Amino acid sequence: MPDSVTPLDPPSGVYEPQPLRKMFYGQDAVKEHLLACLPSSTSRAVIITGPTLADKTPLVKAVEALLGPARHAGTFSGIRQHAPVDTVEDAVAIAVADARTDVVISIGGGSPIDAAKTVSFRFHEKHGRFLTHVAIPTTLSAAECTDVGGTTMHDGVKQGVRHPALAPAYILYDPVFARHTPPALFMSTGVRALDHAMELQYHPAATVLPCKAVARAAIATLVERLPQYKHDPTNADVVLALFLAAYGSLGFFGNKMTGGLGLSHTIGYAIGSPYGIPHGVTSCLTLGHVVALKARLVPSDAHNIALTLPCFGAGATRTDNGTDTGNDAADAAEVGRRILALVDALGLATTLTHYGVSRDQLDIICDRALGSWMPGEQKGEGDTAIRQAVRELVSGLF
């Protein structure tokens, strides 16, 4: 763990963990442990996944074979990016048709995992009980770490369902299941995990222990291991380390999540599903610039960001004679620069223009991003400065 763990300030708090029962991780974790996640010998599971994983990889068929006909209630493989409402409703229809179903298995990234949460929510509405959710992630989105499921409505804006019972009860991190993920997708979701871990550093509900401390450890791992993955995407040890870092980026926030995680996420939601941009990419676009904004305008957030600088392989800023300046703004700005440099080194730097978003959408994006209170932002007198800074930030993304 990095040396930058802060003192216990504030001196009191409460940590309420998510109801995860078990996490299995390692090579062939799915093959060895999937059946142990089923509630009983008569359990029936519906699989929720996407068309690429189902049609172009052997992964879904392998899970179906592990379940066998008696335990396999069906597979829905139509979940697309951002979990569009039509595909989610189709998945719900399959799941709720059989009242004997008691398990939902999500295979994939954030969209299948979110869709599985919605399936469980709607199953509860119809049959009076939630499904046991078993998540098999294939990306670093960390959607398996929350009890919130997002669905993209017809206007492109996401709506969510939330309940503690929607959080996966079991998570299986298996490098075999990342083998078919395109490296650019895997790395961009790694930046998404970095986004989680960074924004938790200044979220008012994030506890010092374990949330912020573990998230800083996740930052250090992501910064070290993502370039290693780019060099060799087949290295199972690196993949597994990244999976665990993704969990550490968000899995210890617990049940304190209210609203968005922070400004990078709210801008990301404003430019993500409305324009069909993957959330890993939105984090590549926004995170470094948001950190730089906070370094300038939000002293309390700059302090918490500055504490992560050792995670990026750097010490605090120094004066000419080698003493520590104690300059939080300078250290936080350096973190922002290092995030942008990491995104560039991974080959993930891009623009809104590349994704077909025109400048006439600037005001719409800003209104979406600033439409509700954002954890960690100053209010009152700081509003005008923040709004202007966000407008300049988004303008620079084209």
222-236 per-position pLDDT tens digit: 999 999 999 999 999
Q: Are 91 and 60 found together in one domain?
A: yes
| Beta-carbon contacts of residue 99 (< 8 Å; ≥ 6 apart) | 127
Torsion of CA 265, 146, 24, 2, to 10 degrees: 50
CA–CA separation, 178 vs 51, rounded Å?
16
The pLDDT value given to residue 381: 37
Residues 6+ apart with CB under 8 A from 86: none
What is the percent of the chain with per-residue pLDDT over 70, rounded to a whole number?
Answer: 88
Amino acid of residue 229: Y
**Number of domains making up the chain:** 2
Using the predicted structure, report yes or no on whether residue 123 has a pLDDT greater than 90. Answer: yes
Residue 16 maps to a domain: no
Q: Is residue 142 located within the same domain as residue 234?
A: no
Q: Are residues 169 and 191 in the same domain?
A: no
Residues 173 and 190 in one domain: no
Give this prediction's pTM.
Answer: 0.91
In the chain, which residue ranges form alpha helices assigned H by DSSP? Answer: 29-33, 51-56, 59-71, 85-96, 110-127, 183-200, 213-231, 236-250, 263-271, 279-297, 299-306, 328-345, 362-369, 383-395
Please give the DSSP secondary-structure letter assigned to residue 181.
S
In a domain, 2, yes or no: no
What CATH number has the domain bearing residue 147? 3.40.50.1970
Residue 164: is its pLDDT beyond 50? yes
Rounded mean pLDDT, 79-108: 85
Residue 158 belongs to what H/E stretch? Answer: strand 158-162
Neighbours of 11 (CB within 10 A): 7
What's the mean pLDDT in 156-182? Answer: 90
**pLDDT tens for each residue of 4-46:** 444 455 667 788 888 899 999 999 999 999 999 999 999 999 9
- Phi, psi dihedrals of residue 184, rounded to the nearest 5°: -60, -40
The reply to whether 117 and 191 lie within a common domain is no
Q: What is the pLDDT of residues 317-358, one digit of tens each?
A: 654 444 456 799 999 999 999 999 999 999 999 999 999 999
Give the structural domain span for 166. 22-178
Assigned domain for 13 exists: no
Q: Are residues 104 and 231 in the same domain?
A: no
Confidence of residue 382 (pLDDT cuts 50, 70, 90): very low
- pLDDT at residue 257 greater than cutoff 80: no
Look at residue 258 and give its three-state secondary structure: coil
How many CB atoms sit inside 10 A of residue 312's CB? 18
Q: In terms of domains, do 134 and 258 share one?
A: no
Q: 208 and 164 in one domain?
A: no
**168 and 204 assigned to the same domain:** no
